[in-house]
Amino acid sequence: MSKTVEANFDGLVGPTHNYAGLSLGNIASTNNQSAPSNPRQAALQGLAKMKALHDMGLVQGVLAPQERPDVHTLRKLGFTGSDAQVLAEAAKKAPKILAACSSASSMWTANAATVSPSADTETGTVHFTPANLCSKFHRSIEHETTSNILRAVFPDEKHFTHHPALTSTSHFGDEGAANHTRFCQNYGDEGVEFFVFGQYSFDDTKVAPSRFPARQSLEASQAIARTHKLNEQRTIFAQQNPEVIDQGVFHNDVIAVGNRNVLFCHEKAFLDQAKVYNDLKTAYGHDDFYIIEVPESRIRVETAVKSYLFNSQLLSTSDNEMSIVVPSDCQSDRQVSAYLDDLVAADNPITDVKVFDLRQSMNNGGGPACLRLRVVLTQEELKAANPSCLMNDKLYSTLCQWVEKHYRDRLTEADLADPQLLIESRTALDELTRLLQLGSVYQFQRV
């Protein structure tokens, strides 16, 4: 039997990466509002992480950014004239809308979609559902282009099934793989798909957060499980603890991460945590399932949110060992750094810590796990994917040169109205679509 792998497809940071503070509930995003950003550095930091994982022998892919500023959406909102006039009018009359339509948030591809491997689905194909991201306007405008990009990267209908995003209403709010984890002994085995939600949309008697909104609904997670035709006996739904949502844990991947036979989480991650553990162990069905629970007495939720300890990547480096990929913020926090030392010394599969400088992304509230979409692929499915989007030494060098050529090293909110920025962004993306052989994924009219 050919080896099945888990590929990480990271989002390439877009040319309009900026700090507009658009995401209520994401503390880093709001705290850094209006600070100048460095799009060039942000993109190069992301590419360095991709290259490092490739050098580890892992399958690493890249997903293209979206066209921003999104003049198409601004036109739908009533701004008229040439593209330059649309930007100028929006900047004058609705600068916050312009900022939202200029966000480079598609870089966080953990929110791009939910992906179910062929081993888990009744159809025997890999299923993709782009997230509607309807809780935030600046993200709700992404899913159509996200779908186009995913179809360009995974085009073969024999192997890949693409679904439309769920209905864009809060009742079916879907934030993608940031609230979805898969457990298995080996990637090619039928796995346990673990969906974490923040609220019940059709039952007001259930507990919910009070300070910040819950972005993922149970009903959305259930709908995805149905459309992906998953085995009900191996599909688990768990409610995120409303208390931690109100402390800035806006997605499950800020408080928990899993890979194969390991769940690494905070003791306050879920409601009725003991039942969640039991349900997962029962569905997993083997005695080699590790639950690594971090107590509040060791790492407070506030510290976890600030350092993004759990917004990490767990990567299988052998059949029995894993590395944990963390942002440099974990290393600079003495308490978190000490915990990581103890973690790799303990009796569990995590044996190594890899640290990356992702400061530009972290300032906007996204760590290593936010930047990647996990896609489990058989060797045949991997061959059917777009090879131009798979990282190698040549592609890394080419993309770094592309970033150096097209990206600014400083950007503020005031720059978003500059028509030259739109020209620069479009020129860059036109070149990128040729490099990655993406076809017509950007279908907006240009005036």
Q: Which pLDDT value is given to residue 1?
A: 41
Q: Which amino acid does the sequence have at 338? A: A
Spatial contact of 218 and 202, defined as CB atoms under 8 Å apart: no
DSSP state of 154: S
10-residue averages of pLDDT along the chain (447 residues): 88 93 58 82 97 98 97 97 96 95 96 98 98 96 97 98 97 98 98 98 93 94 98 98 94 97 98 98 97 98 96 95 97 96 97 95 88 98 98 98 98 94 96 95 70
Pairing assessment for the beta strands 290-294 and 322-327 based on DSSP bridges: unpaired
131 Cβ partners below 8 Å, 6+ apart?
Answer: 111, 112, 113, 114, 143, 146, 165, 174, 175, 176
Residue of 251, 330, 381, 406 marked active site: 251
Of 289, 264, 280, which is closest to residue 344 (Cα–Cα)? 264
pTM (two decimals): 0.96
> Considering all CA atoms of the chain, what is the largest pairwise distance in Å, rounded to the nearest integer?
64
Domains by residue range for the chain, with CATH: 5-68+103-436 (3.75.10.20)
> Cα–Cα distance between 73 and 78 in angstroms, integer?
9
DSSP state of 26: -
Q: At 238, give phi and psi (nearest 5°).
A: -135, 140
Residue of 175, 219, 381, 413 marked active site: 175
Q: Which pLDDT value is given to residue 341?
A: 98
> Cα–Cα distance between 407 and 439 in angstroms, integer?
22
Spatial contact of 200 and 237, defined as CB atoms under 8 Å apart: no
C-alpha distances in Å from residue 11, one per residue of 148, 285, 300, 346: 14, 34, 29, 33
CA atoms within 13 A on the CB side of 365: 27
State how far Cα 191 lies from the chain centre: 20
Residue 138 is a catalytic residue: no
Residue of 370, 381, 406, 413 marked active site: 370
> Cα–Cα distance between 189 and 171 in angstroms, integer?
33
Residue 232 is a catalytic residue: no
375 Cβ partners below 8 Å, 6+ apart?
Answer: 6, 7, 8, 9, 61, 115, 117, 126, 154
> Cα–Cα distance between 266 and 270 in angstroms, integer?
9
60 Cβ partners below 8 Å, 6+ apart?
Answer: 7, 8, 9, 10, 50, 51, 53, 54, 390, 391
Q: Which pLDDT value is given to residue 20?
A: 78
> Cα–Cα distance between 128 and 110 in angstroms, integer?
13
Residue 251 is a catalytic residue: yes
Q: Which pLDDT value is given to residue 435?
A: 97
